[in-house]
Structure 1
Amino acid sequence: MELSYVEQINQAAGYIRGRIGDRLPAIGLVLGSGLGDLAEEVEDAAVIDFGDVPHFPVSTVEGHAGRFVVGKLEGKTVIVMQGRFHYYEGYPMRKVVAPIYVMHKLGVRTIVLTNAAGGMNRAFRPGDLMLICDHINMTGDHPLIGKNFAELGPRFPDMSEAYNKAYRELAHRISSQIRGDDGDSLELQEGVYCGISGPSYMTPAELGMLARLGGDAVGMSTVAETIAARHCGIDVLGISCITDMAIGEELEPLTHEQVMEVANRTKPKFAALVKSFVREVGR
């Protein structure tokens, strides 16, 4: 008999628990394209490939290592996803968000979801970091469609504060203490993230539509994970690395390699922000 979704989640969590012992994490980090190097700073780390976890698919995207790293970061026990699963890889939404529920089973109550995104707000520049204050789901799908499992969360979860306001305020306070190469403090943008299915980048007309709808950035992840996190009671800090300007009438050709290049340049200030957040959250 095929296992239910909850049974698959429990088996996956049980496998990881068997690999990490009593080092149960309270904070989860999901590291998007080009941002996975932060996991190398986790101390006393246990490394678990996604492919070794029961019922998990394998990440197929360049720039995604496809593994969990569990250990200490800034004195806190964390579980880091180096890479994630995407809807455009052909996985159903419930597979895409399964790691969120697994992390919840392991004890995670705070999660930092990061991504590389195109900036639609004309005040943004490539290399900016944007705190996500809200999102628009344009994927055409939803991770909670189908049978609801009360063990995971309610049938109709509230999304009035999908991205924790207190976490955003903390991130802004922290950013004033982070200095860039030019000596200036880190200035964070804030805005609405539009989640699309991908894998193609958007046309100028589509980007113009999203901007008129109120979007500030666009990408191919994060929205479904946030919905699942709020469903099971995890508080979310979302951070987008703005890797290119996705402005319809000024749109230029874009490649994944260009996205990775800008994300790589942004890594120092991104890492400083996330590490400071991990250190300060919950104090």
Structure 2
Amino acid sequence: MTQTATVAYGAQVKEAAEYVKSKLGAYSPTIGLILGSGLGDLGDQIEDAVYLPYEEIPHFPQSTVVGHAGRFVIGKLEGKDVIIMQGRFHFYEGYAMRKVVLPVYVLAKLGIKTLVITNAGGGMNKAFKAGDLMLITDHLNMTGDNPLIGPNDPELGVRFPDMSRAYDHEYIALAKKLAIEVKGTQGETLELQEGVYAGISGPTYETPAELKMLAYLGGDAVGMSTVPEVIAASHSQLRVLGITCITDMAIGEELEPLTHEQVVKVANLTKPKFIGLVRAFVREVQVEV
């Protein structure tokens, strides 16, 4: 990648951020949320919402995945100004990694300090079950790429960003504390897990041998998103809470055929508890401006 291309990328971030900023009105969000497959309904709960389709934003790619609405939702959640991504972009859609993470840099330019990143993933830890929520404590980048490869733009972040606390320890502790008050539609308690998220490129689901390898390396859940966005968030010095909805069990020795429709179905069943946890976190988190 040439230096000209790097400058152009920074200019794209700036132009996209300026356009989104022009649509914020009286809102000044410091909390951003990225909602994964089947989890976008939280965006419909935003008060006094402003909707901004991705296709209207300069340089933004288009989301092509079922279950992703493909727009920003700006407004109030738990009394706080927020901006939500209803749908995200993936490496497997054919976009370059830098295009996949463009929205994260735009959010940082808009003044976001706290980023809640969610996804649907397969559970590789045998102690998990479908329908659990997992707080991400760390990740394995198995995508074969990194959005920071190429010349660094110092306006976006430092050349070698630290990743030792990519998933904020204080946020994890807060989410664990708040999980006690979250109930499902039948009054059931939230089964909250913690673990390492293994990010792969997709779009194929994993083979049994691949799942055995990822579990052996320390992965507790596997999915096709989040890792590039967290790298960009660390580059931008954003504090991140990551949550995986375990939509299926991905145990190499016991693997059964899986479809995207099954993933979305389980995510939909888990939504009340997921939304309850995220709303509680937004309500209680203290954002340093």
**Structure 2 length as normaliser, TM-score?**
0.96
Residue 20 of structure 1, CA deviation: 1.3
Q: How far apart are the structure 1 equivalents of 2:26 and 2:110?
A: 10
Q: How far apart are the structure 2 equivalents of 1:97 and 1:24?
A: 22
> 1:79-127 CA deviation, whole Å, 9 max, x = no partner?
0000000000000000000000000111100000000000000000000
Residue 21 of structure 1, CA deviation: 2.3
Query: Following superposition, which runs of at least 4 residues in structure 1 exceed 6 angstroms of deviation?
Result: none
Question: What's 2:107 paired with?
Answer: 103
Of 101-110 and 17-26, deviating more is: 17-26
> Aligned runs of 1:20-35 on 2, under 5 Å?
20-35=24-39
Q: How far apart are the structure 1 equivalents of 2:153 and 2:28?
A: 24
Alpha-carbon spacing, 1:46–1:181, altered in 2? closer, same or farther (3 Å): closer
Residue 249 of structure 1, CA deviation: 1.1
Q: How far apart are the structure 1 equivalents of 2:223 and 2:33?
A: 18
Instruction: Output the aligned Cα RMSD.
Output: 1.2
Question: What's 1:239 paired with?
Answer: 243
> 1:176-226 CA deviation, whole Å, 9 max, x = no partner?
111234534323100000000000000000000000000000000000000
Question: What's 2:193 paired with?
Answer: 189
Out of 122, 127, 133, the residue aligned to residue 126 of structure 2 is 122
Unpaired runs of at least 5, structure 2: none
> Aligned runs of 1:198-217 on 2, under 5 Å?
198-217=202-221
Q: How far apart are the structure 2 equivalents of 1:206 and 1:86?
A: 20
- 3-state SS of 2:101 partner: helix
> 1:11-45 CA deviation, whole Å, 9 max, x = no partner?
00100111112312100000000000000000111
Q: Which amino acid aligns with 1:244?
A: D
Q: How far apart are the structure 2 equivalents of 1:180 and 1:9?
A: 39
Q: Which amino acid aligns with 2:157?
A: G
Q: How far apart are the structure 1 equivalents of 2:175 and 2:45?
A: 20
Out of 265, 268, 271, the residue aligned to residue 264 of structure 1 is 268
Q: How far apart are the structure 2 equivalents of 1:22 and 1:199?
A: 40
Q: How far apart are the structure 1 equivalents of 2:54 and 2:282?
A: 23
Q: Which amino acid aligns with 1:234?
A: L
- 3-state SS of 2:212 partner: helix
> Aligned runs of 1:45-194 on 2, under 5 Å?
45-194=49-198
- 3-state SS of 2:126 partner: coil
- 3-state SS of 1:72 partner: strand
Cα contact 2:12–2:59 (8 A) shared by 1:
yes
Cα contact 1:176–1:187 (8 A) shared by 2:
no
Q: How far apart are the structure 2 equivalents of 1:119 and 1:157?
A: 29
Of 232-241 and 181-190, deviating more is: 181-190
How many equivalent pairs are there? Answer: 283
> Kindly, what percent of the aligned residue pairs are identical?
65
